[in-house]
Amino acid sequence: SQQGEEDPQALSIQEGENATMNCSYKTSINNLQWYRQNSGRGLVHLILIRSNEREKHSGRLRVTLDTSKKSSSLLITASRAADTASYFCATVTGGTSYGKLTFGQGTILTVHP
């Protein structure tokens, strides 16, 4: 099974609501990153959180990291139709920042106008 696994696999909400996506991983990480992908297009980096950080904010995005539970969550507040996309978490493992980046399977978010 994959290092990063997102939950839920799909999420459907109304504009203005908050969306929360979760990511769990198995081995210790150097950092965890969240990306967004619009249908069939390239991924766009959202937030990077390091293993010694617990929470980060960027605009309407809030990411938390709980290394004891090996999990992270991405919260999008006051969602918009333009937030409709797939969201992926990705982990860097091995104790250094070099090497492999392992992606989860993603959460498909649909925001209805």
Partner 1 sequence: EAQVTQNPRYLITVTGKKLTVTCSQNMNHEYMSWYRQDPGLGLRQIYYSMNVEVTDKGDVPEGYKVSRKEKRNFPLILESPSPNQTSLYFCASTLGNLGNEQFFGPGTRLTVL
Measured from the CB atom, the residue of 16 and 99 that comes closer to partner 1 is 99
Measured from the CB atom, the residue of 15 and 67 that comes closer to partner 1 is 67
Measured from the CB atom, the residue of 14 and 27 that comes closer to partner 1 is 27
Which residues of the chain form contacts with partner 1 (CB under 8 A)? 2, 30-31, 33, 35, 40-45, 48, 50, 88, 90, 92, 96-106
CB of 81 to partner 1, least distance (A): 23
**Angle, vertex CA 100, rays to CA 51 and CA 49, nearest 5:** 25
CB of 61 to partner 1, least distance (A): 14
Contact partners, residue 10, CB within 8 Å, separation at least 6 = 107, 108, 109, 110
Contact partners, residue 77, CB within 8 Å, separation at least 6 = 18, 60, 61, 62
CB of 97 to partner 1, least distance (A): 4
Measured from the CB atom, the residue of 15 and 47 that comes closer to partner 1 is 47
CB of 4 to partner 1, least distance (A): 8
How many angstroms separate the CA atoms of 102 and 111, rounded?
A: 27
How many angstroms separate the CA atoms of 96 and 112, rounded?
A: 40
How many angstroms separate the CA atoms of 71 and 26, rounded?
A: 9
